[in-house]
Amino acid sequence: MSLNGRKHALITGSSRGIGRGIALKLAEQGTKVAINYRSNEAAANETLNKVREIGSDGFIIQADVSRPEDISRMFNKVEEEFGSLDIFVSNARPELPEFYQAPMELTLESWSSAIDSQGTAFLVGIREANNLMGEGGRVIAVTYAPGSRTGSWQPWVAMGSAKAALESLVRYFAVSLAQRGITVNAVSPGLTEDSVFNGLPQEVQKLARDWHESGFTPMGRMGTPADIGNAVSLLCSEEANWITGQVLHADGGASLVDPVLPLEIQRG
């Protein structure tokens, strides 16, 4: 699959984890990347060094995407450095303690942290990206679809609600920008190593890994940032120009497993 000359990308939250995996995959295909970080400048520079080792280039830019004025400043820097933008990936999120609270304990501050970093950040960001994109641009939002349609992971309530808003915006903007040939899609990873998952207690991580390796993910493992980078690259390719307004599950088949029946029954 070819990006067909898509040379400039901005990936929010790309200093590490899933965002870094996306940045490196796009860089492999010759795309220059703007690497956004909120506080970890050293990690952002490490990502940039890896991008340069691959043979591409870019720059780092500090911005807190929960602040609209920071988003505007970030896009001004993109215009200054690149002149135009071909790919915008909305990936950044707060750290787990900033939003991870059960419904009855959830503070308005934690609620706002989730909503502002997802729905509001995407709304502001895609409008800014629109000003720099020509025909055929690509916009990708990183979501977590199970959290936006289920309710059992109680402390995920703020982020699950925020991701639901994000996915709704993807559909509306897909229609809004279709006449310009700009596609707008979301990628939904399953549980992924080197992500928000690693902020959970070690015993929780082990339970989750064991569960997915036992068959809850049919492909027998959790995902990696490189897996998600591959999915984003696919949607950014020229061949994906007829795909818009969709949520692509990059989860090794986890979304296909029935959560009601025990795995032993499902295997037949």
Q: Give 164's contacts (C-beta < 8 A, 6+ positions apart).
A: 148, 149
- The pair of structure tokens assigned to 60 is 């780092």
User: Rounded to 5 degrees, what are φ and ψ at 159?
Assistant: -70, -35
Say if CB 266 and CB 257 are below 8 A apart: yes
User: Rounded to 5 degrees, what are φ and ψ at 63?
Assistant: -165, 140
Instruction: Give the start-end residues of each E strand in 127-254.
Output: 138-142, 183-189, 247-250
Radius of gyration of the chain (CA): 18
- Domain chopping of the chain, boundaries: 8-266
* pLDDT single digits (tens) 83-119: 999 999 999 999 999 999 999 999 999 999 999 999 9
Q: Is the pLDDT of residue 249 over 70?
A: yes
pLDDT of residue 212: 79
Q: Is the pLDDT of residue 147 over 80?
A: yes
- What does pTM read for this prediction? 0.94
Q: What CATH class has 8-266?
A: alpha beta
Q: Is the pLDDT of residue 12 over 90?
A: yes
